[in-house]
Amino acid sequence: MNLFARSAVAFGWAFLAIPIAAEPSATPMLPTPVLAAPAPSSPASQQQPLPDWQTYVDNLRPIGDRLWQQSRLSGDQNRQQVYRLIFSALAQGYLDYAASDPAYPEFMPGYDVALNLAAPNPDYRYKVALIDGHGVYRLSGFRGTSRFVDVTMFGSLMSLGTTGPTFGKFALDDLHIGKDGRYSVILSTERPNGYTGDWIRLEPGTIRLQVRHASYDWNNEVDARMAIDRLDKPAARPRPSAAEVAERLKKLSSWAENTVAFGFRNLDYLRERKIINRLEIHDYSGVGGYSPAIQTYYEGLYDLAEDEALVIETAVPKTCRYRSVLVGDNMYGTIDWINNQSSLNGFQSRLDEDGKLRVVIARRDPGVPNWLDTGGYETGLIQLRWNECDSQPVPATRKVKLSDLRSVLPRSTPVVSAAERDAALRLRREGAQLRSRW
């Protein structure tokens, strides 16, 4: 029996060294921490009644009708899509909560085309992990070449209705990146004794990490890779108790309802303030973790007949880490960005000769480069963001007939043929699938 096993059996303690595979001279070793054996479950907790299958089903049963009413929509097509959205939220809740463990975390997919909730940004790959703010964690991996990778530390789970602060963020580019692209950073409440490598202070109230992997050139950039390891727990994971499993499963219905209702409330906010066919600043710092000084969001609704278009015109900041504009549907999801040109970032969009960005939102292809396809929706979301830019220009909007569109655009605006659009969409579809989605 080796030293690790003998120690664990005899004393209930384990000893864990932390190897770091980056350049030895630049990335020091973390001293060996002492790990306490997990406390045994109390008899009282084992005697708590556990839900049966029917209880889980009964918890889910009423949320379909409640959310359908909250959607303010009508028609069979919309009703079935609301139901699909609930299943999507259940899938997200299972991955991000029920199947997650702060003692043995891994990064799960947060949002995607299949988890199309809260208007995800197509340029981002969202990954989330539940953690314990009192623990010691190591993030490690390879930087890649994507636009940026930010890690935000949250003290709440919005989908379960918990409240708590956002404890800040850091970027992979803030860390030491080895010549081979490797990085390694420790997250803990205190810097470990003798450790001189990259370290981020972890607030004790932190319960979730959210990672945004942002890409500009989908077809050619290399996504970052990231692993998470809790260092103050034994490497092998024990089997969870029945009570632990039940505690997470019984909250899935609340997760699904809160997640879908969040989008409906945001749409109601925009409707009530008549932010229709125009854009206003929206502060998402409490939800997304970016303060307005870092990322400025503009949001509004489009409402367009089939023969109409909405032209967005804006100056572009001289320096900007990232910018994008997207269109969503009438349920606060983003229009399918793999098979439709429903978003444009700073790499994908074309600037006019005067340096301005002009984007055309329309239900039919108007034959211009910067078309945003609503996917057939008459009404839905518009969202524009500037990230770490030296200015925050306010976009102007103008609704016109499609037949008059060319008269309000610069003469130099190219004509995009049907064949060219088809080729561009196929290239876009390839790039979206080449990225790491899960």
Q: Is there a contact between 131 and 266 (Cβ–Cβ < 8 Å)?
A: no
pLDDT confidence of residue 36: 41
pLDDT band at 47 (very low <50, low <70, confident <90, very high): low
Which contacts (CB < 8 Å, 24+ apart) does range 372-376 have? 372/325, 372/326, 372/327, 372/341, 372/342, 372/343, 372/344, 373/327, 373/335, 373/340, 373/341, 373/342, 374/302, 374/304, 374/327, 374/329, 374/335, 374/342, 375/329, 375/335, 375/336, 375/340, 375/342
* pLDDT tens profile 416-431: 999 999 999 999 999 9
pLDDT for the residue numbered 292: 81
Domain ranges in the chain are 72-258, 273-434
Residue 151 vs residues 72, 160, 208, 209, 254: alpha-carbon distances, Å: 35, 21, 10, 7, 26
Task: Calculate ∠ Cα 162-137-249, nearest 5°.
Answer: 40
Is the pLDDT confidence value at 7 over 50? no
Query: Is pLDDT larger for residue 57 or for residue 437?
Result: 57
Element (H, E) at 209: strand 208-214
Whether CATH 2.60.120.1600 fits 273-434: yes
Query: Nearest 5°: phi and psi at 373?
Result: -90, 120
Q: What local confidence, expressed as pLDDT, does residue 349 receive?
A: 98
Q: What is the secondary structure of 384-418 as a DSSP string?
A: EEEEEES--PPPEEEEEEGGGGGGGS-TTPPPPPH
For the chain, helix (H) and strand (E) counts, in that order, are 9, 20
* Tens digit of each residue's pLDDT (9 = 90 or more) over 128-162: 999 999 999 999 999 999 999 999 999 999 999 98
The phi-psi region of residue 75 (left if phi > 0; otherwise alpha if psi is between -120 and 50; otherwise beta) is left
- Structure confidence at residue 286 (pLDDT): 64
In three-state secondary structure terms, 262 is helix
Mean pLDDT of 198-209: 98
> What would the pLDDT profile of 237-265 be if each residue is shown by its tens digit?
999 999 999 999 999 999 999 999 999 99
- In a 13 Å sphere around the CA of 390, the CA atoms on its Cβ side amount to 4
- Residue 41 in this model has a pLDDT that exceeds 70: no
pLDDT at 18 over 60: no
Closest to 429 (Cα-Cα) out of 180, 122, 130: 122
Percentage above 90 pLDDT, the chain: 84
Task: Please report the pLDDT score of residue 293 as a whole number.
Answer: 79
What does the pLDDT read at residue 239? 97
Q: How far apart are CA 356 and CA 316, in angstroms?
A: 6
User: Does pLDDT of 31 surpass 70?
Assistant: no
Whether 63 contacts 56, CB under 8 Å: no
Cα–Cα distance measured from residue 99 to residue 90, given in angstroms and rounded to the nearest whole number: 12
Residues 374-398: tens digit of each pLDDT: 999 999 999 999 999 999 999 999 9
Q: Is the pLDDT of residue 413 over 50?
A: yes
**C-alpha radius of gyration, the chain, whole number:** 24
Helix intervals (H) in 94-166? none
How do residues 156-201 score in pLDDT, each as one tens digit? 999 999 888 999 999 999 999 999 999 999 999 999 999 999 999 9
